[in-house]
Homo-oligomer: A and B are copies of this chain.
Amino acid sequence: MEVEVAMQKLKDHGFKYTQKREKMLEIFSNINGYLSVKEVYQKIKQEYPTISLNTVYLNISFFEEAEVLETTDLNGEKVYRFSCADHHHHHIICTECGKVQVINICPMDSIFGNPPGFTITGHKFEIYGYCDDCKK
């Protein structure tokens, strides 16, 4: 299962097992969209009311290190989602709730080599909009 694979990735990177980390992974795996740190914090507080916001920040940074999460910016704050980094893809993102839909078109497919004066290291292609649930 997804969460166990992620937990194993963490172990491979030298991070210990904790219940809170497992719960955080479950939160991410149950949502098909990006979550802000505060949203994760609100959700995990339902199960662990004494958890520190700091712990959420820390664990998210460890998850990133272990390549368990992918991240982007939404309305000026960092948001995260369960990574499916096994295949290259882009997203349609609901700017209201963070819900995503994967798209497999990549604009880099039609760009060959490095442009003069630049060495390419990465790219970002995101489509923004409203999902049906958030449409007025």
A125 — which chain B residues lie within 8 A by C-beta? 107, 123-125
Is A19 part of the contact surface with B, judged by Cβ < 8 Å? no
Using a Cβ–Cβ cut-off of 8 Å, how many residues does chain A contribute to the interface with B? Answer: 32
Minimum Cβ distance to chain B for residue A109 (Å): 10
Q: Does A48 sit within 8 A of B, measured CB to CB? A: no
Quick one: which of A24-82 are within 8 Å of B by CB? Answer: 73, 76, 78
Main secondary structure of the interface of A (DSSP, over half): strand
Partner of A110, one of B94, B95, B101, B105: B105
CB distance from A122 to the nearest CB of B (A): 5
- What are the residues of chain B within 8 A of A3 when measuring CB–CB? none
Contacts of A128 in B (CB 8 A): 120-124
